[in-house]
Amino acid sequence: MRAMQLATANRPLELRTLDRPVPGDHQVLIRVAACGVCRTDLHVVDGDLPNPKHNLIPGHEVVGKVVALGPGVTALSVGERIGVPWLGWTCGECGYCLNGRENLCDKARFTGYTVDGGYAEHMVADVRFCFRLPAMYSDVQAAPLLCAGLIGYRALRAAGAARRVGIYGFGAAAHIITQIACQEGREIHAFTRTGDIAAQRFATSLGAAWAGSSDEQPPSPLDAAILFAPVGSLIPRALQAVAKGGIVVCAGIHMSDVPAFPYSLLWGERRIVSVANLTRADGDAFMAVAPTVPVRTVAVPYPLEEANSALNSLRAGTLTGAAVLTME
């Protein structure tokens, strides 16, 4: 099979021909049709996340069909279309796993980080951590749902019943969650890079009530802010933007250092929380909600061998929507 492999952090991925993997216990072999390019992939490739698997194949927004079953697999059949998310395996025995918080499992394995992912023509995945996908989405359209959608959905739920919600960083996750939030009757305020008029217009086209630069204040105080941009200096800005009792949700797996800020920004029962990974329950809930909105994903396809170009576009902030690798 062809695969894009990370040999050394901070170096471009390399196109290689590798042996097709063989599914083990409770695993399925998947013929990959599409794989989204996520900002977390960028953090892995750029060395922001430590200790990736050696000679890693990145990618954790994977859409494909089951072509072989490993021992013990009964939940899926050959020929079914499935999606593979970031959370690839948990122990099932620790206190986190037993209390509905498997996203915090200390032994968890992650697709495209500690196990090989979907920047390849084939991959194996634990059947227990695969999702059936809504039929209304094509393979390319479905790929961003597997992380941008899932993490965004968990972040929105972490914001509670907040009616006026600010979103910092208007990329793949934001464009999905804006649609759900507006359908729920929330008012979205979108914050983009300074002067990024295209992103601001994109946000308002999806229903945002206001869009501006991240160094601006919204026209009215926010009930909550969600940070998808991995920029620590945005936390004090978001605290300034939320009203007393408001919450700032940090949705990224990596963020630059948070600068010191005066206690007065936090006072008034404002809160800062992080969203870590996802659970299978998140996936089931989101996959049921997305078609009812219906969520429309904006995807820019790239051939597998152009994965570095897709990552560069994401790094430069020039994408509208989400980049998706295709195997055709």
The whole-model pTM stands at 0.95
H or E element in which residue 288 lies: helix 280-289
Extents of the domains making up the chain:
2-146+278-326, 150-274
- Each residue's pLDDT, cut to its tens digit, for the chain (328 residues) gives 999 999 988 899 999 999 999 999 999 999 999 999 999 999 999 999 999 999 999 999 999 999 999 999 999 999 999 999 999 999 999 999 999 999 999 999 999 999 999 999 999 999 999 999 999 999 999 999 999 999 999 999 999 999 999 999 999 999 999 999 999 999 999 999 998 999 999 999 999 999 999 999 999 999 999 999 999 999 999 999 999 999 999 999 999 999 999 999 999 999 999 999 999 999 999 999 999 999 999 999 999 999 999 999 999 989 999 999 999 8
* CATH, domain range 150-274: 3.40.50.720
| CATH level 3 topology of 2-146+278-326 | Quinone Oxidoreductase; Chain A, domain 1 (3.90.180)
C-alpha torsion sign, points 82, 31, 49, 320 = negative
Return the beta strands (E) in 43-177 as ranges: 62-69, 81-84, 87-89, 109-110, 122-126, 131-132, 164-168
What is the three-class DSSP state of 66? strand
H or E element in which residue 139 lies: helix 139-142
